[in-house]
Copies of this chain bind each other. A is one copy, B any other.
Amino acid sequence: MNAKPEPTASDVAAWWGTAVSRMEPNVIELRGHPVQDLIGTTSLTEMIWLMLRGDRPTAGQARLLEAALVAAVDHGPHAPSIAIARMAATCGVGLNNAVATGVNVLGDNHGGAGEQCLALLDDICGRAAVTGSVESAAAEVLAAFRAHTPYVPGFGHRFHQRDPRRDPLLSLVDRAVADGVVAGRHLAAALAVEQSLRTRDGRSVPMNIDGATAVIYGELGFPPPLARGLFVLSRSVGILAHAWEETQQGRRNKGPIPPGILPAYLSQ
């Protein structure tokens, strides 16, 4: 370390280098656009696209992205993220802390299925591009996947036999394919997976919200980690709404169950 020259202020500036935004006194540019040109002309959904990717979506792309973001905002207090945010809101922390507490648990099991599903669909699309058959690509990928785990991320739901968000999302994708907005490859991959999945007793295992949004994110060209990132933005809306409602209900230090029920004591 001795031989290295002492870093300068410009090394320090470079350490925090970013293409996302440029700040100077009286100047705010986001992805190269002065902020004053964006305010009033750009929707929140277009802004999300711009900030993550650096370019602007077409109207058709923005419409698909918006539908996916709207669809996943909430799934009620049975979802740990929602319950946790509500409990946090009663503990005397800021609303920002309550939201962060909920967002923090959107992990591999809770908010990660979209990311995992998109990786799976990307894999199928990649193979199908080579072999020409999405069905055989889906079969290959599924076989490899199911060797490790009984779950296929994005398909089936422990609560809904048929997730009511599947059909409206997929029909928007259908229309976007028809309109030439997207290519339809991820949709085909997901339908091939859905086609081949059956429970042991023969019931179908339809796509769930994570699968249907993964189709959209994949069609739009988002990489898998951003499927989780976008879900985080979407679910933050529901988390905030629930945390705020809880605040207004006025409990302090809300536990998970009514005070009159004591957790069972398990002998070790």
Whether A25 contacts B160 by the Cβ 8 Å rule is: yes
Q: Closest CB of chain B to A52's CB: distance in Å?
A: 5
Q: Closest residue of chain B to A10, judged by CB?
A: B264
Residue A211 at the chain B interface, CB threshold 8 Å = no
Q: Find A258's partner among B12, B93, B159 (CB 8 Å cutoff).
A: B12
Q: Closest CB of chain B to A257's CB: distance in Å?
A: 5
Whether A263 contacts B23 by the Cβ 8 Å rule is: yes
In the assembled complex, the Cα of A110 lies from the Cα of B84 at a distance in Å of 14
Contacts of A243-263 to chain B: CB distance below 8 A: 243-245, 247, 252-263
Whether B80 contacts A105 by the Cβ 8 Å rule is: no
Please indicate the chain B residues that have their CB under 8 angstroms from the CB of A101 in the complex: 84, 100-101, 104-105
Q: Closest CB of chain B to A150's CB: distance in Å?
A: 12
Q: Closest CB of chain B to A151's CB: distance in Å?
A: 9
Whether A88 contacts B71 by the Cβ 8 Å rule is: no
Residue A196 at the chain B interface, CB threshold 8 Å = no
Residue A179 at the chain B interface, CB threshold 8 Å = no
Whether B236 contacts A232 by the Cβ 8 Å rule is: yes
Q: Closest CB of chain B to A69's CB: distance in Å?
A: 5
Cβ proximity bits A1-32 to B, threshold 8 Å, 1 near / 0 not: 10010111111111111111111111110111
Please indicate the chain B residues that have their CB under 8 angstroms from the CB of A143 in the complex: none
Q: Closest CB of chain B to A226's CB: distance in Å?
A: 7
In the assembled complex, the Cα of A100 lies from the Cα of B84 at a distance in Å of 13
Whether B7 contacts A261 by the Cβ 8 Å rule is: yes
In the assembled complex, the Cα of A267 lies from the Cα of B73 at a distance in Å of 20
State whether A228 and B25 are in contact (beta carbons under 8 Å apart), knowing that A16-B264, A165-B35, A264-B13 are contacts in the complex.
no
Pairs A–B under 8 Å by Cβ, sample size 16? A7-B258, A8-B8, A12-B258, A17-B264, A26-B164, A27-B164, A36-B168, A43-B70, A78-B262, A88-B104, A92-B107, A93-B96, A94-B106, A100-B100, A109-B253, A233-B236
Which A residues lie at the B interface, using CB under 8 A?
1, 4, 6-28, 30-32, 34-36, 38-40, 42-45, 47-48, 51-52, 54, 63, 66-67, 69-71, 73-81, 83-84, 86-88, 90-97, 99-101, 103-112, 158-165, 167-169, 172, 225-226, 228-229, 232-234, 236-238, 240-245, 247, 252-268
